[in-house]
């Protein structure tokens, strides 16, 4: 089992769930372009389809059986991921059917995001969409939770792996939030007079999620990469030693007389040590996007949407790198 295919499923799951939650929050606020919400709804349904395919190809329970996961939790992974995709279909249909323009988010004098009371006074079709969207958001969080609970056993973290689960949820909000923000920034190129409040909101959501994920991973600590040496004895005497730096295989050979000697040790070193990968994770995956995201938020408030979108482009790349490194470090000791 290789690290990258399974890490791909985890990152796609984060992208799908976090993207929809951020989009649903924008839809609930009511100050974004309806056409943008429609476009994103279709796009995120397609990403959910890719996530389901990656799960069946790389992360089905029978594929990861025996690799140290808390397997009973995997029973909910398939149904929840499938439900997430299927529920997105009627949500998109309701979105298309609700053709009444809300008149928000289209000009400099756009209204502020609606209050909860105002949202509850919406037409029945829109209320049904909000209700279904809330259900999908809960399903998305439940999917992240059961997957996090299954994979938390790979990290000897504190609080019985709770920090691993929380880091997965925060990572999903960061990755999905920055993807929505970047695409929303492009939407401003067609509607330059639109309100900047939606972009400010989703960019701030990304920054908060990044700070939380970094804090959770810092408290998880180096135990995530399993630096402890593991020794396995295989008859008739082969010894395989695995650790953070590589794999050492020792095989006994028959020497002169009745004495047995040891064959030369074969060492397979990782291309980059796990400590270096952890440093890359924090520098590229957290510190860089936090700085760029802060600049993007500042530019958005100054209505420099094109420049802000460029910063968000870079944020998407760095956060993707950080999430892949984080999931790879979690999976490496078992699947590497």
Is 253 domain-assigned? yes
Output DSSP code: residue 110.
Answer: P
* Backbone angles phi and psi of 251, in degrees to 5: -125, 125
Same domain? 124 vs 152 = yes
Q: Is the pLDDT of residue 261 over 60?
A: no
Tell me, yes or no, whether 199 and 325 share the same domain.
yes
How far apart CA 35 and CA 176 sit, in angstroms, is 19
Residue whose structure tokens are 């929050």? 25
Instruction: Return the beta strands (E) in the chain as ranges.
Output: 230-234, 238-243, 246-250, 252-254, 260-262, 266-269
Q: What is the pLDDT of residues 159-169, one digit of tens each?
A: 778 899 999 99
Strands 230-234 and 260-262: unpaired
Q: Reply yes or no on whether the pLDDT at 242 is more than 70.
A: no
**How does DSSP classify residue 30?**
T
DSSP assignment letter at 197 = H
The pTM assigned to this predicted structure is 0.81
The tally of domains found in the chain comes to 2
pLDDT tens figures, 81-139: 999 999 999 999 999 998 765 444 444 434 456 665 665 667 889 999 999 999 999 99
Structure tokens at 199: 């972009």
In a domain, 107, yes or no: yes
Residue 223 and residue 235 in one domain: no
Q: Are residues 200 and 215 in the same domain?
A: yes
What are the start-end ranges of the E strands in 251-314?
252-254, 260-262, 266-269
User: Within a domain: residue 273?
Assistant: no
Residue at a domain's end among 246, 267, 288: 267
Domain that holds residue 15: 3-228+278-335
What percent of the chain stands above pLDDT 70? 75
CA–CA gap between residue 140 and residue 135 (Å, rounded): 9
Q: Do residues 74 and 64 lie in contact, with contact meaning Cβ atoms separated by under 8 Å?
A: yes
Query: pLDDT: is 163 or 333 the higher one?
Result: 163
Please indicate, yes or no, if residue 272 is contained in any of the structural domains.
Answer: no
DSSP SS3 for 251: coil
């Amino acid at each position: 089992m290789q690290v990258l295919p399974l890490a791909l499923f985890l990152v796609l799951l984060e992208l799908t769930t976090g993207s929809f939650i951020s989009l649903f929050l924008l839809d609930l606020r009511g100050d974004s372009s309806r056409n943008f919400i429609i476009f994103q709804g279709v796009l995120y349904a397609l990403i959910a389809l890719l996530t389901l395919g990656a799960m069946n190809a790389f992360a089905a329970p029978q594929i990861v059986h025996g690799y140290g996961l808390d397997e009973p939790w995997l029973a909910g992974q398939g149904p929840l991921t499938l439900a997430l995709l299927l529920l997105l279909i009627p949500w998109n249909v309701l979105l298309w059917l609700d053709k009444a323009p809300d008149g928000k988010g289209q000009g400099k004098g756009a209204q502020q995001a609606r209050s909860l009371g105002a949202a509850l006074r919406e037409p029945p079709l829109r209320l049904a969409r909000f209700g279904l969207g809330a259900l999908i958001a809960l399903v998305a969080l439940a999917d992240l939770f059961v997957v996090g609970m299954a994979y938390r056993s790979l990290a000897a973290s504190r609080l019985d792996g709770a920090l691993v689960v929380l880091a997965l949820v925060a990572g999903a909000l960061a990755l999905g939030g920055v993807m929505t923000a970047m695409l929303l920034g492009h939407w401003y190129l067609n509607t330059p007079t639109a309100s900047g409040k939606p972009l400010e909101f989703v960019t701030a959501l990304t920054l908060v999620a990044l700070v939380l994920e970094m804090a959770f991973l810092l408290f998880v600590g180096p135990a995530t990469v399993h630096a402890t040496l593991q020794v396995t004895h295989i008859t008739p005497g082969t010894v395989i030693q695995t650790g953070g730096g590589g794999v050492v295989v020792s095989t006994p050979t028959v020497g002169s007389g009745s004495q047995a000697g040891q064959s030369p040790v074969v060492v397979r070193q990782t291309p980059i040590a796990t400590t270096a990968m952890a440093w890359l994770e924090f520098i590229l995956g957290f510190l860089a996007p936090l700085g760029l995201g802060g600049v993007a938020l500042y530019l958005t408030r100054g209505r420099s949407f094109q420049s802000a979108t460029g910063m968000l482009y870079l944020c998407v790349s760095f956060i993707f790198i950080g999430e892949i490194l984080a999931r790879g470090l979690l999976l490496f000791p078992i699947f590497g």
